Structure 1
Amino acid sequence: MYFKRNEPFRFTFGQPLDGKLYDATNNTEVKVSILDVSRNGAKVYCEDDIQLKSDTKVRLTYKIDDTSFDAFGAVTWTKPSKTSYEMGLHLNTDDDYHTTMIQSLKKLKRSNL
């Protein structure tokens, strides 16, 4: 797979969204901040020492406005620092997820103008 952030659609949040990331192997839950989303992925920031490796199966849940999103996927990359982690996630999503996400992002953008 090729993951060089070249997707035609990527939305970066001015103020990161709160979300939860679950390690699908042992169902460990950790709070994350979602920095950006795309049709099939997300970039998240985590202060907990969860230490997920590439290809770890995960589940990401978050809300945009009043709409909840829930997607399964895998960690594609991690970037550790002294007190936190940034992670790139590849999410397995469908057309309904894409349509709902785009509508929610448009609504969010309009309300922040």
Structure 2
Amino acid sequence: MLYKRNEYFRYTFGKPLEAEFRIVVDDGPGRESRPGDCQLIDISPGGAKLFTKFNISGEHGAVRLRIKFTLLEDPIEVSGVIVWRKPYSGGYMYGYDFDEDAMLEQVIVEELKLRRRSEINVEEVKLD
């Protein structure tokens, strides 16, 4: 699988964004794990970097996850696969590649625009 680090932009959160993940089991429809907590470190329309204390490893290839988070207003749910894993600060950092979905990519871009605008407005209020 080709890693898409050269995408046109990647938004890094000042404070990691709380999210929830579930491991998707391929050997049955709708089978997935109980939810686990994670934090999004950065995001792009095609993937994200996340941190969790859980060691998510696949014995038979790529691990599929479903992640739920809210960038600003609307809850977003994405599916995809882990493309890399590194031990980090008492847990693990993961590269997560979203399944291709043009509509979802657009939602993420729009939510990030709104989030950034709200952050700028908060910064301006603090300066006044």
Kept in 1, the 8 Å contact 2:55–2:91? The answer is no
Residue identity (%): 26
Structure 1: runs of 5+ lacking an equivalent: none
Q: Name the CA distance, whole Å, in 2 between partners of 1:61 and 1:20.
A: 5
Structure 2 CA distance for partners of 1:75 and 1:110, relative to 1, 3 Å: same
Alignment correspondent of 1:34: 40
Give the superposition deviation at 1:4.
Answer: 5.4
Structure 1 segment 1-113 matched on structure 2, within 5 A: 1-3=1-3, 5-25=5-25, 26-47=32-53, 49-53=54-58, 55-81=62-88, 83-113=90-120
The two structures, once aligned, show a CA RMSD in angstroms of 1.6
Distance in 2 between residues matched to 1:27 and 1:88, nearest whole Å:
19
May I ask how many residue pairs the two structures share in their alignment?
A: 112
Larger radius of gyration: 2
Per-residue deviation, residues 9-52 of structure 1 (Å, max 9, x unmatched): 211111111101111124232100101111111100112x3333
Q: Distance in 1 between matches of 2:69 and 2:96?
A: 14
- Unaligned 5+ residue runs, structure 2? 26-31, 121-128
**4+ runs of 1 displaced by more than 3 Å?**
none
* TM-score w.r.t. length of structure 2: 0.79
